[in-house]
Amino acid sequence: MSHLKNKVAIVTGASSGIGAATARGLAEKGARVVLAGRNEERLSQIVEDITGSGGIASYKVADATDFESTKALVAFATTTYGPVDILVNNAGLMLFSYWKDAAVGDWNKMIDTNLRGYLHAIAAVLPSMLERRSGRILNMSSIAGVHVGEAAGVYGATKFFIRGITESLRKEVGVGSGIQVSMISPGVIDTGWADKVHDETGRKIAGELNKQGIPPSSVAEAVVYALDQPPEITINDISSIQPGRTGSPRFRELRTRTSGTVRPPRGTNRCRLSWLWTRRSSLHDDLIPDVFVFQRPGHLRRPSQDPTWITRSNF
């Protein structure tokens, strides 16, 4: 049974990458999806693909940095399909530069999109959700919001911000008002973002990182999984590190935290594993037990459906 059937979902940053893949995934589960972004040609093509496959979708050109534009997006979704049930806050910008370069222009672009853009979308959908005591907000963060990499100081700071507002939102409106608040924190994703970096040194770093990127469809699977839950369950946080990067310092740090409690299945090649950290909590319980999950890439399923999952919790 899909908990997404007939739900009205807005996906920002939906003209490419994770947003486009997420829109397709939600539509496949029966959601009525409104894609938002700046590139009308791409949005139109994606909607055509979705509807051609039997899904329900529309698009609205919108600028996440403009609150009036975001309010118009929510009004369009409401008029077209009904009150918004799901917000996937995904529009984001990743620009690399060193502090010595003082790339203020790039910093401001990331602040406008990654900070103000998220706040605008939340402010536009939250009143209706609170009134109905129902809704789902998923914020797209990043591993950079936990571990800041080279030349990514400001970008990492914007993702720390997203982590902070998500946790605050969950505590304030999740437990008491029945709203499911989730966050996805992927590693490097191959979405073509490296081409948008203007700083020359930053572009070189971005290009090297992008070679290690995982496909947007893998992250979209995590998004759909987090949202496709019954009302009493919230998936608070899924952190995904790209396959083949198990030797990275961050992976070693996370793996150490699971030592003695969670191990991959016997005979499974560690280098082919994605690492997911899922925190589940009841909307009626502010305690947050941890569930640690190892999962083979391309097989994102519930533990009960896939024997390759190994889980441990504090329940």
Q: Known catalytic residues?
A: 155
In 3D space, the residue among 236, 215, 313, 228 whose CA is nearest the CA of residue 280 turns out to be 236
The Cα 299–Cα 305 span in angstroms is 10
Q: CA distances (Å), 62 to each of 20, 33, 279, in order?
A: 15, 15, 32
